[in-house]
Amino acid sequence: MHGLFADDMGVVVETTVLVADDSNFFRELIREELESSGYRVLLAKDGGQALALYRSHDIHILITDLEMPVMTGLELCWHVRAADDQHRTFTILMTGDSETARRVEAFESGADEFLAKPIDLPMLRARVRAGERITRMHRVMVEMLNTDYLTGVANRRHFMERLEQAYRAARETGSPLAVAMFDIDHFKAINDTHGHGNGDLALKRFADNCAAQVPDGGFLGRLGGEEFCLCLPAGDLESALARVEAIRRSTAGLSVETGTGAGFGFTVSIGLCLDRDTVSVNDLLARADEALYFAKRSGRNRTVLRGAEGVVVKASFYVM
């Protein structure tokens, strides 16, 4: 059905179309036509306003005029494509210019399709429907590429890409972040005792439980095997510790029912590190991994914080 889209969480939402044109007449003409077909339409009167809307909304289709104040349609397409390396937005450039060189320049700037002015409304609908099909296909492919097939969380490659971005942003803004490394305790014994199928169920139960507790601005990934990693904003150390401790305690209350009707529980060990005084993502992960190793070596089912140098202190968690 046109005008409806499933987002990254599988929730059906309206397809969002951003229309950028300095002519109020053309903006309203397109808005009325697309809204009558079930699309959600956002309007911008120049390229700068359009770019701001693009950055604050999930835009499925961008329709932009070629000549606009502040920022041209070509410049807008370039900025969108630079930020959209996975091609989640389909761009349609409106122009009355039929010169081949101009159109080549537009394609090189990131435009996917052209719409001639004056606007032919049936052609507008056809181009938007085509763009909707293409961007839907791209988003499904991206989701498959970025998702761990078993647990549904980010796979290692995608998680590391996001962590690199979050780390750079934290450095630029001075807003700290933390990473927590999780390792399910005695997982080999779970597989040996209950079978790999039930081991997979334990991984899925843990991932679902952990994902449900990820705060706004945080993200979870499976690094491999029974190891997961959580990146979360760390405005203060206490909030980060409280978050991962809640996950550890709730994990201990999970159970997996086997095909025979028997059930088993499991626990998780956690290594936590803040990005303060780290020099890279690899350094941050290495410190969190060091804390995780200590958690497992010292008895499992505990959280260990990798902090400044000091004595290991036992509390509701451990500090290295």
Is residue 317's pLDDT more than 60? no
Would you tell me which CATH number, out of the four given (3.20.20.70, 3.40.1350.10, 3.30.70.270, 3.40.190.290), belongs to the domain 156-319? Answer: 3.30.70.270
pLDDT at 198: 95
Could you tell me the pLDDT band of residue 275, with boundaries at 50, 70 and 90? confident
How far apart CA 312 and CA 315 sit, in angstroms, is: 10
Choice between 13 and 21, residue whose per-residue pLDDT is larger? 21
Q: Does residue 293 surpass a pLDDT of 90? A: yes
Per the CB < 8 A criterion, the answer to whether 148 and 13 are in contact is: no
Considering the candidates 161, 172, 226, 257, report the single residue annotated as catalytic.
Answer: 226
Digit-coded pLDDT (tens) for 82-128: 888 778 899 999 887 666 666 777 777 778 888 888 889 999 999 99
pLDDT above 90 coverage of the chain, percent:
63
Each domain of the chain, given as residue ranges in start order, spans 4-145, 156-319
* Segment holding 190, helix H or strand E: helix 187-194
Q: Alpha carbon of 107 to those of 14, 131, 153, 259: distances in Å? A: 27, 15, 35, 56
Helix-helix angle 73-83:47-56, to 10 degrees: 20
- The whole-angstrom separation of Cα 17 and Cα 24 is 16
pLDDT digits (tens, 9 = 90+) for 170-212: 988 888 899 999 999 999 999 999 999 999 999 999 999 999 9
Distance CA 33, CA 38 (A): 9
Mean pLDDT value across the chain: 87
Instruction: Find out if CATH 3.40.50.300 is the number for domain 4-145.
Output: no
This prediction's pTM = 0.72
pLDDT at 257 over 80: yes
Give 216-231 pLDDT, tens digit per residue: 889 999 999 999 999 9
Looking at residue 56, what is its pLDDT?
92
Is 226 part of the annotated catalytic residue set? yes
Q: Does residue 9 register a pLDDT over 70? A: no
